Amino acid sequence: MRRGEALAAWMLTLPAALAFLLLLLAPTLAAIALAFSDYELGVWPPHWIGLDNFREMWTDRGFRTSFVNTLVYVAIVAPVSVAGGLGLALLIEGAARGRTIFRAIFFLPVVSLTVAMAAAWQYLLHPTIGPVNAVLRAVGIAGPAWLSSSDTVLLSLAAIGIWESIGFNMVLFMAGLTAIPRELREAAAVDGARAAWDRFRLVTWPLLGPTALFVVVISLIRSVRVFDTVAVLTRGGPNKASEVLLYTMYTEGFTFLRLGYSAAITLVFLVIVLGLMLVQTRILDRRVHYG
């Protein structure tokens, strides 16, 4: 009877377990193994080269540029989209009417296809026919070539990144806000927290803690993952000014067919993302819950 039950349990778990093994675990392990090889598509057999790929990365100026660019991108997009998402959530929450429409407007970028939206951005930011520069010209400023100048390309991509994720963060914060008991804000008002800022400090922000941590980590991970806008709009250019981690991985692997090196870059990316998730679960368990 017990054996039968155990067997049934295994049988029922099998499809999911198989899918996990074949689609997640095996490719990840393969990528990790490849990272320590010199495998190139068409050159067989690959050789075990130990840490050579990582050594190369260390000295590769292209990779370093890409790594620094990713950091800069994350350093702009994550804080601005978190703070902006919170600001929007508070504004919309406090609005007397039109909450639904504003929520929909700001959430729109999240549900729209980035690649399609990238075309729209390309037009908006076009140096001669783009509306952005048209507006700038109207006030007497000569707008830069947003996506084709190495000074502004990363900033432009960051702006698009912010536009993409601010609505997502806003919705998460709004969910967090509705979970705060109304009595607490009322109690804060009666207790003498007269300024909105005081009530925010006393009640809203501390009780939003778990949500805020989640939003921060999700935003970091989402911005480290930046790829499609780069691939569609700039292809890492001009002059590698918009090379980012995943785009470098993609060109090394699929343009130069150096799958071993590409896998090594993937591994670096994986470590960053896992590290962020670890930080989240650790802090989440300890600090921001008032159990």
Identified binder of other proteins from the candidate list 10, 134, 186, 271, rule CB under 8 A:
186
48: β partners: 37
Identified binder of other proteins from the candidate list 178, 201, 275, 281, rule CB under 8 A:
201
Identified binder of other proteins from the candidate list 135, 191, 256, 278, rule CB under 8 A:
191
Identified binder of other proteins from the candidate list 62, 109, 143, 206, rule CB under 8 A:
206
- Distance (Å, rounded) from C-alpha 33 to C-alpha 150? 36
Identified binder of other proteins from the candidate list 143, 209, 237, 238, rule CB under 8 A:
209
Identified binder of other proteins from the candidate list 111, 116, 138, 195, rule CB under 8 A:
195
Q: Which amino acid is at 270?
A: L
Identified binder of other proteins from the candidate list 19, 181, 254, 271, rule CB under 8 A:
181
Scanning residues 228 to 247, which ones bind other proteins (CB under 8 A)? none
∠ CA(124), CA(125), CA(129), 5° rounding? 70
- Distance (Å, rounded) from C-alpha 34 to C-alpha 262? 9
Tell me if 184 contacts other proteins by CB under 8 A. Answer: yes
By CB atoms closer than 10 A (0-12, 13-18, 19+), residue 283 is middle
Identified binder of other proteins from the candidate list 187, 221, 270, 276, rule CB under 8 A:
187
Identified binder of other proteins from the candidate list 80, 118, 188, 265, rule CB under 8 A:
188
Tell me if 136 contacts other proteins by CB under 8 A. Answer: no
Binding mask 137-176 for other proteins (x = CB under 8 A): ----------------------------------------
Strands (E), the chain: none
Helices 259-286, 52-59: axis angle to 10 degrees equals 90
Binding mask 28-57 for other proteins (x = CB under 8 A): ------------------------------
- Distance (Å, rounded) from C-alpha 98 to C-alpha 77? 27
Count of positions on this chain that bind other proteins (CB under 8 A): 22
Tell me if 257 contacts other proteins by CB under 8 A. Answer: no
Identified binder of other proteins from the candidate list 4, 45, 140, 192, rule CB under 8 A:
192
User: DSSP letters of 50-115?
Assistant: TTHHHHHHHH-HHHHHHHHHHHHHHHHHHHHHHHHHHHHHHHHHH-SS-HHHHHHHHHHHHHS-HH
- Distance (Å, rounded) from C-alpha 118 to C-alpha 124? 10
- Nearer Cβ to other proteins (184/221): 184
- Nearer Cβ to other proteins (15/291): 291
CB within 8 Å of 264: residues ≥ 6 apart: 35, 36, 53, 54, 57
- Distance (Å, rounded) from C-alpha 77 to C-alpha 82? 8
Residues in touch with other proteins (CB under 8 A):
181, 183-184, 186-195, 198, 201-203, 206-207, 209, 290-291
